[in-house]
Structure formats: structure tokens, C-alpha cells
């Protein structure tokens, strides 16, 4: 498997570390306990497209949001997590 790192270009899987679901979001300190339990422990295992976090530890150290098809391993998009997070904030703010 190869990931097209936005900073480094296409690189082999062994340069990356998988973390997991990029669709869960860290609740605020005042969020109910259930929200925290879901954030820390509960994960979906979708059949099809999924967004997940990968770390380019043997490359640029960027965290990446990878849009990957869980059934075919097809990769539709690789974006820098920082860009995704910033965009999400801007959208939430506007």
C-alpha cells in the first residue's frame, strides 16, 4: 500500500503509522461523560469509505487524514491533518 503524502509524494506503507478514526472529535471539558466514552473508546467499522489518521513518522512527521475504502483499500484523498482541522474550525466559526 502507498500513501500520497501531500508533503513528500507517494511513499510506501512502512513509512507511516496508523492511528485510527479521523471522524471522532475531542469533546469539550464540560461535555457529558458519554461523549467522552464515545470519543475515547467507540469506533465505527464502516464497510466502504472511511477517514482515518496516519502519521508520516519516517518522513515529514505530518499527521494525515486519509480517505480510504475499507473494502477495496482504494485511497481517494490524503490531506494534512492540520489543514483539515483548520478548515473545520473556519467552517465552524463562519
Contact present, 39 and 28 (Cβ < 8 Å): no
DSSP 3-state of 21: strand
> Per rule CB under 8 A, is residue 85 in the interface with other proteins?
yes
Among 10, 44, 48, 94, binds other proteins (CB under 8 A): 10
> Per rule CB under 8 A, is residue 43 in the interface with other proteins?
no
Min separation Cβ 15 and other proteins, Å: 12
Q: Which of 71, 74, 77, 73 is nearest to 46 (CA)?
A: 71
The 48-67 contact track toward other proteins, x by CB under 8 A, reads -----x-x-x---xxx----
Amino acid at each position: 500500500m502507498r500513501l500520497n503524502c501531500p508533503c513528500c509524494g507517494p511513499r510506501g506503507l512502512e513509512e507511516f503509522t496508523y492511528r485510527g478514526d479521523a471522524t471522532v472529535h475531542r469533546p469539550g471539558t464540560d461535555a457529558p461523560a458519554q461523549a467522552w466514552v464515545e470519543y475515547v473508546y467507540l469506533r465505527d467499522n464502516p464497510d466502504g469509505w472511511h477517514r482515518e489518521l496516519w502519521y508520516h513518522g519516517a518522513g515529514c512527521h505530518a499527521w494525515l487524514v486519509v480517505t480510504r475504502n475499507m473494502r477495496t483499500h482504494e485511497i481517494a484523498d490524503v490531506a494534512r491533518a492540520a489543514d483539515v482541522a483548520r478548515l473545520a474550525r473556519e467552517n465552524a466559526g463562519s
